[in-house]
Amino acid sequence: MFGLASQYASNENVSLFVRHIPALAFLPCDNISAVFNELRSNMPSDMPPEVIRRLRNGNVVHSEPLFPPSLWLVTAHVDYLKS
């Protein structure tokens, strides 16, 4: 295994952090940025360098995502959130 896959398999802190990211799909669109920033601020110190470089680059540039939330958000499809 290479890169993040080996870290994910061998490091509990890294695997727990990575498993939090898909939960963003269950948030209202307006909350995604704030929760992502909170996740980023709680990133484990032993995160692999390639992830730290992408998430903690020091230059926070908010650009359009490659895949907009409208494609991957599931909140509109979860019945218990509608009530």
Q: What is the DSSP-derived secondary structure letter of residue 82?
A: T
Helices 12-20, 3-10: inter-axial angle, 10-degree rounding: 110
- Give Cβ neighbours of residue 49 (< 8 Å, ≥ 6 apart): none
Whole-number Å distance between alpha carbons of 28 and 79:
14
Per-residue pLDDT of the chain (83 residues; tens, 9 = 90+): 566 788 888 889 888 888 998 888 888 888 888 998 888 888 888 776 555 555 445 555 556 777 888 888 887 777 665 55
**SS3 at position 32:** helix
Predicted TM-score (pTM) of the model is 0.65
